[in-house]
Structure formats: C-alpha cells, structure tokens
C-alpha cells in the first residue's frame, strides 16, 4: 500500500509476473487505500520520510511520528489481531508511536533493526577474514542508532571467538562501521536509503512468525525489566513465533557491554521523551 497512485499497483504487477520464473503462486495486490489490508495477520510499517545525507535518524522524529501514528490507527481499525513490524526510522521511537496508537500487547509490536544491524556486522567481519558470511555468528543489541551495541563477546567464526582472529583496534573500527552502516549506504545513494538488506531482515522475521519457526533474532521489543530496561523499545534477542514475541532471551553480557546497553537505552529514552513533547 502506498499513497502514490499507480506505484503500488505497478510494483504488484511486476512482482506477480516474476512468479513463473521464481516459482511462487502468491497473488500480490497493490493499493492506495487501507480497505484491502483489512484482516491482515502481519503488517510491516515502512511509511515515512527517508533519511537524507547528513541527516540523523533523530532528525526524522517529528514527521515520521505523525505518519506512523496515522498508519497505526488504520491498522488498529482494520486488523486488530495483527502483529506489527515497524521499520520506519528513528526505529525505537517509532515502535513507541505504533504501540501507543494500536494499544496492542507488547508481543505484537516489534521493531526490525537488530537483524539488519547484525547482518551488516557479520558482513564486515566476513570481509575482514575472507570467510563465508554463513560462518560468522554475531548480533547487535540496543537502539537502532549511533549507540547500538555489537556484542563482540558472543561473536565467533565457526565457533572460534572473534577476538582470536581480529585484534581489538581493528574490531572497534568494524563496530563503528556497523553503527554508521545506514548512513554509509545513504551517502552513496545520495537519494533514499537502504532497502535490500532491510527487506531481507523483514523477510526473516516474517518467516519466523508465519511458519512458527521460533527463531531467536535481535529485534526491538518493549522491555519491562529485562536487561534492566523498563518500558522502552530496545534491541534484544527475542524468540519469534506465531504469537509474535514469545520470549525475550536474556544473555550474560560483559561489564562493558552492559554499560553500552544502558547508554543506548538512555539515548532511546531521551528520544521518546522528546517525541512525547511534539
């Protein structure tokens, strides 16, 4: 669904025509209204203004709060049992906008950020070591922004701790590139923002929910005491099944990572408080 006339219809037709080649029978419908979305099981909210070069995610706060709140009201009215996946930036704050508007249970409002940030982290590590990305395991927690926390202590290559393969100084450079991942793509594109990797992240989350796979994935979830965070959407490992978030998985972080996660949660809190004043 998109407000631009013809755009969603054209994309839907294009996707339908790829079915015989790719091998799927699903019928894709493009629309400019919400009527066709009624009764949805899952709604992915990507609506909003994209980040432009030199613009932080936080700069998008006011305009995207209005957009996401409006979309969320439509979702609440037409698909009251849906699971909502928020992609719009600034991600953590927009999760609050969707949650506050829909008033859905916290299990059914989820932010897609950790899967994307973790994919960027794993990509950079694989390039550094010249290995397959499939053999790199690692994830990113915290807010989807400059304070995100790549969890180095749990990162490995085929089971080998990453610190045995890459020295701390180089690791820190890779961590920083991960934090700047979205901005780097946006600067190169000059117009718009990343869409291939985010869409792959959404697909992985949707698959886990629709197929009840119980995948443990880093997602923005409303923490209520987990990791010492109260009433904030922050990226944490969650188990995703048919009911949405079935569990927030708590792991033992080292002292530095705990401190970074609290700092990241603090940044999210400042953003949410600023949004409440708009």
pLDDT, position 135 = 98
pLDDT, position 278 = 79
Rounded Cα–Cα distance for residues 180 and 134 (Å) = 22
Query: What one-character DSSP code corresponds to residue 42?
Result: E
> Domain ranges in the chain?
7-111, 114-276
Q: What are the tens digits of pLDDT across the range 27-78? A: 999 999 999 999 999 999 999 987 666 766 567 788 899 999 999 999 999 9
pLDDT, position 51 = 67
- CA geometry: angle 45, 55, 173, nearest 5 deg: 95
Quote the pTM value: 0.94
Specify whether domain 7-111 bears CATH 3.40.50.620: no
Same fold, 7-111 and 114-276: no
How far is residue 31 from each of residues 4, 8, 9, 70, 134, measured CA to CA in Å? Answer: 9, 6, 6, 17, 37
Q: What are the tens digits of pLDDT across the range 100-140? A: 999 999 999 999 999 999 999 999 999 999 999 999 999 99
Q: What are the tens digits of pLDDT across the range 165-210? A: 999 999 999 999 999 999 999 899 988 889 999 999 999 999 999 9
Active-site amino acid positions? 144
Rg (CA), the chain: 19
What is the four-CA torsion angle of 115, 235, 151, 184, rounded to 10 degrees? 60
Q: Which residues contact 16 (CB under 8 A, 6 or more apart)?
A: 27, 28
| Pairing mode, strands 230-241 and 244-248 | antiparallel
- Alpha carbon 274 to chain centroid, angstroms: 21
pLDDT, position 272 = 93
Sign of CA dihedral 142, 43, 186, 62: negative
pLDDT, position 192 = 81
- 114-276 CATH fold: L-2-Hydroxyisocaproate Dehydrogenase; Chain A, domain 2 (3.90.110)
């Amino acid at each position: 669904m998109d407000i631009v006339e013809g755009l969603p219809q054209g994309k839907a037709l294009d996707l339908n025509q790829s079915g015989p080649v790719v091998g799927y029978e699903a019928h894709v419908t493009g629309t400019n209204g919400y009527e066709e979305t009624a009764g949805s099981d899952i709604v992915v909210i990507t609506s909003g203004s994209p980040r432009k070069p030199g613009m932080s995610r936080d700069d998008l706060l006011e305009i995207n709060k209005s957009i996401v709140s409006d979309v969320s009201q439509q979702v609440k009215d037409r698909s009251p049992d849906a699971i909502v996946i928020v992609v719009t930036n600034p991600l953590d704050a927009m999760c609050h906008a969707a949650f506050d508007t829909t008033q859905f249970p916290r299990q059914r409002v989820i932010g897609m950020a950790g899967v994307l940030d973790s994919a960027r982290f794993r990509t950079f590590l694989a390039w550094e070591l010249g290995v397959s990305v499939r053999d790199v395991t690692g994830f990113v927690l915290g807010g989807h922004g400059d304070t995100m926390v790549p969890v180095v202590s749990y990162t490995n290559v085929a089971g080998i701790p990453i610190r045995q393969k890459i020295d701390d100084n180089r690791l820190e450079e890779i961590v920083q590139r991960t934090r700047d991942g979205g901005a780097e793509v946006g600067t190169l594109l000059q117009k718009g923002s990343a869409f291939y990797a985010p869409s792959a992240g959404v697909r992985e989350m949707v698959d886990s929910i629709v197929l009840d796979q119980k995948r443990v994935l880093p997602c923005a979830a409303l923490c209520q005491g987990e990791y010492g965070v109260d009433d904030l959407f922050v990226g944490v490992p969650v188990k995703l099944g048919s009911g949405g978030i079935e569990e927030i998985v708590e792991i033992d972080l080292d002292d530095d990572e705990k401190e970074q996660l609290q700092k990241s949660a603090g940044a999210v809190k400042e953003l949410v408080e600023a949004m409440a004043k708009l």
